[in-house]
Amino acid sequence: NGNGNRNGNSNGNNNSGNSNGDLQPWEVGYAANGGFLAPAFAGDSVATWSPPLSDDGRENAIWLDEVQVHEMEPALHKDVIGGWWFPEDASVDARRLTCALRAACVERGVQFLHGN
């Protein structure tokens, strides 16, 4: 399928935290390493759905057939009939992002109220 990077929907970490695992508050686990694959099964919503165009009118997903999907992610179930691959998709670690947002808010004087 010519995608170059065959990592599928893996969650790597492109942040530069030091070797002992300490992370800076702004390191949110951003990963842009091969996109996201949404596998489809016969009759499910992924198989019958078509992703919207990007803001500039470009297609931002590519339909892969059964063979291409299994080349990208060999461990997927045999009943997968294809899937949408979003090559430009990236992700963050939601826990890290939440902590970074909280730290930024507290630094700017926001007070969080808990309870009833």
Q: Give the confidence band of 29 by pLDDT, cuts at 50, 70, 90.
A: confident
Please report which confidence band the pLDDT of residue 28 belongs to, taking 50, 70 and 90 as the band edges: confident
* 6 closest CA partner among 31, 34, 32: 34
Over pLDDT 90: what percentage of the chain? 36
∠ CA 41-73-38, rounded to 5°: 45
Q: What is the pLDDT of residues 41-83, one digit of tens each?
A: 998 988 888 888 888 888 889 999 999 999 999 999 999 999 9
Place of tokens 């165009």: 53
Type of residue numbered 49:
W
Structure confidence by residue, pLDDT tens digits, 83-94: 999 988 888 888
Encoding tokens for residue 5?
Answer: 């990077």
Residue in this structure with the two tokens 């942040």, named with its chain if needed: 15
